[in-house]
Structure 1
Amino acid sequence: MIFRLAFGSLLARSLTVTMTILAIALSVMLFVGVEKVRTGAKASFSDTISGTDLIVGARSGSVQLLLYSVFRIGNATNNLTWESYQDIAARDDVDWIVPISLGDSHRQFRVMGTTTEFFDRYKYRSEQSLTVQDGAIMNDLFDATIGADVAETLGYSIGDPIVVAHGLASFAEHEDQPFRVSGILAKTGTPVDRTVIVSLEAIEAIHVDWQSGAQIPGQSTPADVIREMDLHPQAVTAALVGVKSRLKVFGLQRAINEYPQEPLLAILPGVALQELWQIVGIAETALIAVSGMVIVTAMIGMMATIFSSLSERRREMAIFRAMGARPRVILSLLVLEAALMAALGALLGLVLLYLGLWITQPLIDSAFGLWLPIDAPSMREFWVLVGVVGAGVIVSMFPAIRAYRLSLADGMMVRI
């Protein structure tokens, strides 16, 4: 009986009720959407590099090594000598190793020297490999493979020339040894998108006529002569390492950290990524707090709507009382109406969210490299929905108690 009365009352006030349900739905969609984005961003962040067991560089801090080797942020305190790199590569427990050389830039994008094996070994988002969207991976000394963001921002296409600058914020450029865009990588949502990738030998080649950070005056070695030189590097910035057995990871890490020839550091990428997320992840708390305040605002709005409707419904309440309805029936009616509005708003918000995810998921992935999975609501999200309904019941108690106290004589009074 009371359910039928509640439905009838809601239908009688359809416009106001619809607006209230829509406000709750939008707030729920925002809150759960922020939760989806948060978990998706954290997963994408953790999957920036996968399939790599260790990252090796000069001894510093684990977060610093991760920042400059993976995210291209900052600089190394020192380099890893080529002799030490070869010693590590020759170990029986090392399955593969890929060198990385950093230091130069191109119009604020980092230039990275490496080998073609990097394109096979670097994995992201649960073992996905890099793919070439246009052209091919560099196969000449002065070829460059660029990330998707580099190509889009600078408007580059296959065959365009690239002049590398010496250092990160330097006006000195290697104009005598320009590169050519040989390939453009597909969007990954990782720092690779913002990287110009060349060979290790190319990094050595453009510095043949340079000394102490400046070009030797009057010296310019022809490209044909440079191609005949021994361009093996003297040092690299870092190295990505894969082991033959995961059981040997910690043993190899300890051996590298205790390497007697020079101070080195080997880090587990997953552990370092978690440390870095703890530093930058405070933003997620702010997002949750803001979206939570939106839900609180919607609940207060619903309470205000119920309060404002009481003046219009005083005669209705009085008639119920005159027909023998107990005061608790009036209270239960208003609470049930609020619970129904909150439940309908929560369900509608969830439907709108998943509809939005279904439409925007490929667009967000291609534009930002952020993968938002469309999966069933987690227990955290489920309890958010339950909490919304519970909050609706709680805020409705205040106007319900007031209606409970309305007297029959006051309700039947005719005001002029």
Structure 2
Amino acid sequence: MRVLLFLKNECRQSFKILCSLAFILALALSIATAIGQTERMIKSSSAKAAEQFDILVGAKGSRTSLLLSTVYLRDEMMSLTPAVALNVLRGYKGVKWCAPLAFGDRVNESPLVGTTKAFVTLGGARALKTGRVFESRHEAVVGIRSGLKIGETVFPHHGRIAGVGHKHDNGFEVVGILPETGTPWDRAVLVPIETIWAMHAKHQDGEPETLEEWLRLGKFDHLPGFSAIVVKPVSISDAYKIRQGMSSASAMDGRGQSVNLMAIFTGEVLVELYATLDSAMVAFEWFAASSVMISLLAVLITGFILGELRKPQFLQLRTMGAPRGYVMQVVWLLIMSVVLSGVVMGLAGGWGLAQIAAVFISQDTGIAMTPVIGLQELQVGLVTLVLGAIFAILPAVKVGRSQLR
């Protein structure tokens, strides 16, 4: 007798029930695999976004706030870093380049960032996609996803919330566009930091005519300060020296008060954040694993029920000479067809859910994210198949041992 022919006929008779079971299992497996893909996607994408920020220097405070504000352009409360801190950094020979950053304003939905040419070009390592670096105070370089084009003139608003705060009179002409990085900086508008000071009336008297003259002359005493300083070290050993030295240093601000400084490795703070994320994800993973087990139990119970409902047909096969193994094989394959369909749909559905999560997270954070079905998801699918194969033996044996009457 042909097992597959009988199995095909049985699947046709119980099509709705089997599809419902496969869908339930697929839904549970989708959630389980989507959680893992999303977690891995967030970690890899956020780590990639921080690659260009080896060391961050700021006023002593929250390390996490310094990271989120600088690398991911989140609106965080931070104290100003005295400009004299740049002079302290100049004392280290292991500094390849450093650049100050000033936050606090927006251009439409894009954050406005005051900085220097060194940051725009990453110390000469990055070329613009089109255009050039700003050369005057009323020029800007924008991220590729800012929605702005070369030649446009834009007017910023005070504050880091779009549509809130007064409009500044200082306009900027877009002269350059940065290459895509897959980070929140793709939405940013970069302008000379001198313009940020001028807009907030913090550095008007005796301003130099050319950009960054204060930087070349080393005159930091009367400057208002920065939100943070990005530092690129020459080597790993230099990085540790800079972090240790700057974390124990202090600098005088414009009011003559001493401000303690701190320096952080972005990767180190990210590891701490990932540890917190891992703790939160454990509960979700247990929930997902439980839902998969419950779905498999539902398949098992339904296998018993189908075995009882189809018992007359199976007994008829036995009376026609079919061996016990034939009947057991039919029941086992019937249940495994449900499990296999659920696993395949579950892996595809998990990728789809992770893709949806990637779209929403990318829109909110500006970080490019791409989910990938990895070894972890394949292992989950394989374990589900193995457990399903073991569970399917029970109803198959029960039906196969039924006595002929």
Band the TM-score falls in, shorter-chain normalisation: 0.7 to 0.9
Partner of 2:370: 372
Going from structure 1 to structure 2, the CA distance change for 1:9 and 1:45 (only over 3 Å counts) comes to: farther
Going from structure 1 to structure 2, the CA distance change for 1:291 and 1:184 (only over 3 Å counts) comes to: farther
Partner of 1:413: none
Query: Which of residues 238, 244, 251 in structure 2 aligns to 1:254?
Result: 244
Note if contact 1:36-1:372 (Cα within 8 Å) is conserved in structure 2.
no
Query: Partner letter of residue 189 of structure 2?
Result: V
Query: Partner letter of residue 165 of structure 1?
Result: H
- Secondary structure at the aligned position of 2:186 is classed as helix
Moved more, 52-61 or 301-310: 301-310
Structure 1 CA distance, aligned partners of 2:359 and 2:75?
A: 31
Structure 2 CA distance, aligned partners of 1:136 and 1:339?
A: 62
5 Å-filtered alignment, 1:70-219, equals 70-107=71-108, 109-121=110-122, 132=129, 135-151=131-147, 156-168=148-160, 173=166, 175-185=168-178, 187-208=180-201
Partner of 1:239: 229
- Secondary structure at the aligned position of 1:264 is classed as strand
Structure 2 CA distance, aligned partners of 1:42 and 1:271?
A: 13
Going from structure 1 to structure 2, the CA distance change for 1:297 and 1:159 (only over 3 Å counts) comes to: farther
Structure 2 CA distance, aligned partners of 1:230 and 1:305?
A: 76
Q: Write out per-residue CA displacement over residues 300-323 of structure 1, whole angstroms, 9 at most, x where no aligned residue.
A: 553355345334421232135446
Moved more, 29-38 or 272-281: 29-38
Percent identity among equivalent residues? 22
Note if contact 2:362-2:369 (Cα within 8 Å) is conserved in structure 1.
no
Q: Write out per-residue CA displacement over residues 41-91 of structure 1, whole angstroms, 9 at most, x where no aligned residue.
A: 210011111143311111112212112222223445422222221220341
Partner of 1:317: 314
Note if contact 2:22-2:341 (Cα within 8 Å) is conserved in structure 1.
no
Q: Indicate yes or no: 2:171 matched with 1:228.
A: no
Q: Write out per-residue CA displacement over residues 346-379 of structure 1, whole angstroms, 9 at most, x where no aligned residue.
A: 356557878x79x99x99999765343757x41x
Q: Normalising by the residue count of structure 1, what TM-score does the alignment of the two structures yield?
A: 0.73
Query: Partner letter of residue 43 of structure 2?
Result: K
Q: Indicate yes or no: 2:36 matched with 1:66.
A: no
Query: Partner letter of residue 299 of structure 2?
Result: M
Note if contact 2:307-2:331 (Cα within 8 Å) is conserved in structure 1.
no
Residue 265 (structure 1) shift = 0.5
- Secondary structure at the aligned position of 2:232 is classed as strand
Structure 2 CA distance, aligned partners of 1:302 and 1:363?
A: 33
Note if contact 1:122-1:130 (Cα within 8 Å) is conserved in structure 2.
no
Q: Write out per-residue CA displacement over residues 130-189 of structure 1, whole angstroms, 9 at most, x where no aligned residue.
A: 854x654433311223335542xxxx4443332223344696535332223334445544
Query: Partner letter of residue 198 of structure 1?
Result: V
- Secondary structure at the aligned position of 2:117 is classed as coil
Structure 2 CA distance, aligned partners of 1:181 and 1:289?
A: 51
- Secondary structure at the aligned position of 1:235 is classed as coil
Query: Partner letter of residue 138 of structure 2?
Result: F
Q: Indicate yes or no: 2:52 matched with 1:47.
A: no
Q: Normalising by the residue count of structure 2, what TM-score does the alignment of the two structures yield?
A: 0.75
Residue 274 (structure 1) shift = 1.8
Q: CA RMSD in A?
A: 4.3
Q: Indicate yes or no: 2:296 matched with 1:299.
A: yes
Structure 2 CA distance, aligned partners of 1:44 and 1:237?
A: 24
Query: Partner letter of residue 19 of structure 2?
Result: M
5 Å-filtered alignment, 1:354-393, equals 369-372=367-370, 377-378=374-375, 380-393=376-389
Query: Which of residues 251, 254, 263 in structure 2 aligns to 1:266?
Result: 263
- Secondary structure at the aligned position of 1:80 is classed as coil
Moved more, 172-181 or 321-330: 321-330
Structure 1 CA distance, aligned partners of 2:183 and 2:143?
A: 9
Query: Partner letter of residue 319 of structure 1?
Result: Q
Q: How many positions carry a matched residue from both structures?
A: 381
| Unmatched segments (≥5 aa) in structure 2 | 215-222, 252-258
Moved more, 226-235 or 86-95: 226-235
Moved more, 279-288 or 91-100: 279-288
Residue 33 (structure 1) shift = 4.4
Q: Write out per-residue CA displacement over residues 205-233 of structure 1, whole angstroms, 9 at most, x where no aligned residue.
A: 3234x69xxxxxxxxx9xxx977388744
Query: Partner letter of residue 193 of structure 2?
Result: L
